[in-house]
Amino acid sequence: MRLLPSKKTRILALVGILLGVIVYKYASSAGPTNGFDLSNSILPVEQILHGGPPRDGIPALFDPKLVVAAQAGYLKPDDRIVGIVLNGEARAYPIPILNWHEIVNDEIEGQGFAVTYCPLCGTAVAFDATIDGRSTDFGVSGLLYNSDVLLYDRETESLWSQILSKSIAGERVGKQLTPLPISHTSWRDWLDTHPDTLVLSDDTGHFRDYQRDPYAGYEQSRYTYFAVNNEAPDNYHPKEVVLGLGIDGVYRAYPFIELDKQDKTRFSDSVNGTRFNFEWDTENRSITVTDTEGQPVAGVQGFWFAWFAFHPDTEVFKATGS
């Protein structure tokens, strides 16, 4: 005998259908540009793609709730985090939460900043949120360029490329953001080096299953969801993690597979004549870069295909003797 669905099940199904219709109509009304003005875009408009969700369909976080490390029981030692230290204060932003929100707008002692993460490119970049002397909040546009998230600032609705760190359309077109040094490492490693850290709470005000990876299997696959302008050569897996550095238009990638071959975990290297010091942590899959004065340097850590898509003329670091 076939059982009829319960009244509660029917109501939930109806609510789901109605929400789907609302989201579909919202996305459709916004059109392929999600309502953003691309008339002065410095990128080819046909290469700016709709990622699927509408504007703010992936909700950025504002005024985030932070907890002490002892209250972060939702994190496992091997969970990846983005760590930042500003004005002597350490904070950690777990990738399992960033996967669902992509942007966290935060501040430390009045200095506003945005921690951004693109799951499709594996790229984590933090920016100083001060633009034209004012602190600015960022949202997720729902648009992509080279598979990478396009942010938008809520003050002018200008669009910004995460990897380029530049506004690509809108009132602020051509302006640059200032990247801030971050650590992309394990929760275990960050906690060992910063025991007094605060950490982004999983009590975000949004209903999400932060224990589930919405991109499970993506990092292992050779395929991407969206086409890019420059296909990376197959000498590395497309999702091989690299650290990218750029100096005055000269770019250099440091593939982690090459760093694993190094006989030294500490070494120096130059990009366009500028010397940097590197410390590679193979256990935690983390690399630290400092200048010759010992100051941390901001780079872009992400997938090889994404770095190459933006910088097809990139140099590539090779391990000694390889």
Residue 245 belongs to domain spanning: 241-316
HSE-up (13 A, CA, CB side) for residue 227: 5
Q: Residue 271 pLDDT more than 60?
A: yes
User: Would residue 66 count as lying in a domain?
Assistant: yes
- Quote the pLDDT of residue 31: 66
The span from the CA of 293 to the CA of 183, in Å, is 19
How many domains, in total, are found in the chain?
2
Q: Residue 12 pLDDT more than 50?
A: no
Residue 256 has a CB neighbour count (10 Å cut-off) of: 18
pLDDT in tens, 35-62: 999 999 999 999 999 999 999 999 999 9
Which helix (DSSP H) or strand (DSSP E) does residue 191 occupy?
helix 187-193
HSE-up (13 A, CA, CB side) for residue 56: 12
Which domain-ending residue is among 169, 200, 231?
200
The span from the CA of 303 to the CA of 298, in Å, is 16
Place of tokens 């990376």: 232
Q: Taking residues 208-213, report their average pLDDT.
A: 96
- Quote the pLDDT of residue 18: 43
pLDDT in tens, 277-291: 999 999 999 999 999
User: Would residue 38 count as lying in a domain?
Assistant: no
HSE-up (13 A, CA, CB side) for residue 298: 17
User: Would residue 56 count as lying in a domain?
Assistant: yes
> Three-class SS of residue 107?
strand
What's the chain's Rg over C-alpha atoms? 21
pTM over 0.85: yes
**Do 50 and 195 belong to one domain?**
yes
Spatial CB neighbours of 66, under 8 Å, sequence gap ≥ 6:
91, 198, 199, 200, 201
Which helix (DSSP H) or strand (DSSP E) does residue 30 occupy?
helix 7-30
Between 5 and 304, the higher pLDDT residue: 304
Place of tokens 């193979």: 282
**Do 53 and 166 belong to one domain?**
yes
**Do 112 and 255 belong to one domain?**
no
Percent of the chain's residues with pLDDT above 90: 88
Q: Answer whether 169's CB lies under 8 Å from 41's CB.
A: yes
HSE-up (13 A, CA, CB side) for residue 36: 35
**Do 93 and 162 belong to one domain?**
yes
**Pairing label, strands 274-281, 286-290:** antiparallel
Q: Taking residues 189-212, report their average pLDDT.
A: 97
Give residue 150's pLDDT band: very low, low, confident or very high (50, 70, 90): very high
Q: Residue 249 pLDDT more than 80?
A: yes
Can you give the length of the chain in residues?
Answer: 322
HSE-up (13 A, CA, CB side) for residue 106: 24
- Quote the pLDDT of residue 262: 87
**Do 53 and 189 belong to one domain?**
yes
